[in-house]
Amino acid sequence: MQVAILMTHVAIAIALVVLILLQQGKGAEAGAAFGGGASQTVFGSRGSGSFLAKFTGLLAAAFFATSLTLAWFASQAGEAPEAGIPDAQLIEQQNAVPTLDDGGGDVDNAAPALEESGD
C-alpha cells in the first residue's frame, strides 16, 4: 500500500512540474512560441488558463494528501518495526551460545607431531 502511494506521489509531483511549466505567466508572450495561440481553440474561448489552473490546483491537493498519508505511514513505522534490529532478548540468546573456546579445558586439541625419520 505504501509503495503504491509513493509511486502515485512521484507521478503527481512530475505532473505538477510539467503543468506549472506549461502555464503562461501574466503578460508573458513566450508561451506563444510553444503553441500558446493554438491552445485557445483546444481548451475553449478563454484559453488554457482556467483549465490548467484548475487541474494544477487539483493535482496540488492530491500531492498534499499523498504527502500527509506518507507522513502518517512513516510515523506508524517508527512505533513497531517489522524487520531490522532484533530484540534484546534474541541478541542475549545468541551471545549465550557456547563457542569452541568455552569449556574445552579437558579436551586435548593439540595436533599430533610428525615423527622425524632417521635417514
Q: What are the tens digits of pLDDT across the range 74-111? A: 888 765 555 667 677 777 776 666 666 655 556 666 77
Q: Please name which of 18, 31, 26, 25 lies closest in space to residue 59, comparing C-alpha atoms.
A: 18
Break the chain into its structural domains and give their ranges: 1-24+53-72
Tens digits of residue pLDDT in 9-33? 999 999 999 998 888 776 655 555 5
The pLDDT tens digits of the residues spanning 39-84 come to: 455 555 555 568 888 999 999 999 999 999 999 998 887 655 556 6
Grid cell listed for 53: 489552473
Q: What is the 3-state secondary structure (H, E, C) of 35-96?
A: CCCCHHHHHCCCCCHHHHHHHHHHHHHHHHHHHHHHHHHHHHHCCCCCCCCCCHHHHHHHHC
The pTM for the full model equals 0.50
Query: In 68-92, which positions are buried (b, 16+ CB within 10 angstroms) versus exposed (e)?
Result: ebeeeeeeeeeeeeeeeeeeeeeee
